Structure 1
Amino acid sequence: MFYGLIGFFAGIIGGMGMGGGTILIPALVLFANIDPKIAQSINLISSIPMTLMALVIHIKNKNVVFKLVVPIALFGVIGAIFGSFVANYLSSEILRKIFGAFLLLVGIFEVKKGFCQPSKKNSSQSTREE
């Protein structure tokens, strides 16, 4: 049941396009005591069906710009191959620290963006009121 809940929330986040691994990997490492390399592998294999379902819905809603997909996917595959080889030579502890630092940076950028950029809803209301 616990793993099902983790997967459910990872699927929600992944379906929104934010990457279910941001939930899945830390949850497996922190709460289920799974080695980070195993958690990353679980994330990669479980993301395939989640990604395919989300992709079908996003294509149906015309939210995909296909001319951007090819270069991103091509270089993403090259990066994935490189990252997989690098991960084999790094200890799980170093990978844990790198992933933690990455999540911290993403969180900082998101918080900064939330404070520094006015929301569209508030700015459109203020122009109507004027």
Structure 2
Amino acid sequence: MIDAFIANFGDILPFILIGFSAQMIDGALGMAYGVISSTLLLAMGVPPSRASASVHAAETFTTGVSAISHILHRNVDWKLFSRLIIPGVIGGVAGAYLLSNIDGAIVKPFIQVYLAAIGVYLIWRGFHLPPKPRDPKWVTPLGLAGGFMDATGGGGWGPIVTSNLLLQGSSPRHTIGTVNTVEFILTTSISLTFLFHLGWETFTTYTVGLLIGGVVAAPFGAMLARRVAPQFLLRAVGIVLTLTSLFGVAKWLGYIG
């Protein structure tokens, strides 16, 4: 197996780099792993079905490593974790069950416009207002909405939950660490059944590369979230949130294929 990996390293390397880059951003900012990795895979000519399967399979493992890293760096607010985990899983499971009756793609563009507006505000706030951390009041609805959209719309946990918690004044470092840690349990609860159905065929060259890159990057993303100044984190989250949301809107409008 090792010999086969070495022999095919040149083919796997681009996907390792994609997994590393996407997980660095996701681990440091609490969002965008799926959007970035899927977009780059599609740009390289990977078929959409295989890109989606590979990203979801890899994400189940990378979120686990990311969660452990954030816990070790003490980025997790366990009080906030306990308030998010149950509604998040309930929302995710409900979304998975209702997926056949409700088309998440109909709602997703409007959510992306909303998130782009939040992104612009977070950028402004990062430059003009010194963050004053306070306990967020609206947590349970965010967990339900984030979990539901993640299951029905193919993503949304990080952008919806992280951005809205920051909007309420939650500490950037602990928000990112906590949202990443909850995401592991959420992703596992949503994806486990699909992974069983997909079987080992899911683990293609794309998946192996994303896994390796994501696992290597996860500790560095958690370290950045701990060490970078809150103001910079707000700006960075705002920029990534705005760009990825506008990309989704442009794709929905047909400007991007």
TM-score of the superposition, structure 1-length normalised? Answer: 0.61
Q: 1:106 to 1:119 in 2, by over 3 A?
A: closer
Residue aligning to 2:69: 57
What residue number does 2:81 align with?
Answer: 69
Gaps of 5+ in 2: 1-12, 133-228, 230-257
Q: Distance in 1 between matches of 2:59 and 2:92?
A: 14
Q: Distance in 1 between matches of 2:43 and 2:114?
A: 16
**Pair 1:21-2:30 in alignment:** no
Distance 1:43 1:57, change over 3 A: same
Matched AA of 2:34 = G
Is 1:105 the counterpart of 2:105? The answer is no
Q: Who is 1:90 aligned against?
A: 103
Counterpart of 1:116 in structure 2: which amino acid?
Answer: H
Amino acid at match of 1:11: Q
Picking from 22, 26, 30, the partner of 1:10 is 22
* 14-23 vs 95-104, greater mean Cα deviation: 95-104
1:14–1:51 contact (8 Å) kept in structure 2: no
Q: Report Cα offsets for 1:19-67 as digits up to 9, x if no partner.
A: 223423444456657549x63x654432222122122222122222223
* Mapped partners of 1:96, 1:30: distance in 2: 22
> What letter matches 2:36 in structure 1?
I
In structure 2, do the counterparts of structure 1 residues 102 and 7 end up closer, same or farther at CA, with 3 Å as the change threshold?
farther
CA separation in 1, counterparts of 2:34 and 2:118? 13
Is contact 1:7–1:24 with CA below 8 Å preserved after alignment?
yes
CA root-mean-square deviation: 3.6
Mapped partners of 1:106, 1:43: distance in 2: 26
Distance 2:98 2:128 in 1: 36
> Quick one: structure 1 residues 56 and 79, their matched pair in 2 at CA, closer, same or farther if it must change by over 3 Å?
same
Q: CA shift at 1:91, angstroms?
A: 7.2
Residues 14 and 50, structure 1, Cα contact 8 Å, conserved in 2: no
In the alignment, structure 1 residue 46 sits paired with structure 2 residue 49: no
Structure with more relative contact order (C-alpha pairs < 8 Å, separation 6 or more): 2
What is the distance in 2 between the residues matched to 1:73 and 1:119? 25
Identity rate, percent = 25
TM-score, normalised to structure 2, is 0.36
Structure 1 segments unaligned to the other structure (5+ residues) = 122-130
Task: Give 1:73 deviation, angstroms.
Answer: 0.9
Alpha-carbon distance between aligned partners in 2 of 1:29 and 1:86, rounded to the nearest angstrom: 28
Deviation of 1:78 (Å): 1.3
C-alpha deviations, 1:63-85, integer Å up to 9, x for none?
22223212201111111123334
Q: Partners of 1:46 and 1:103 in 2: how far apart?
A: 25
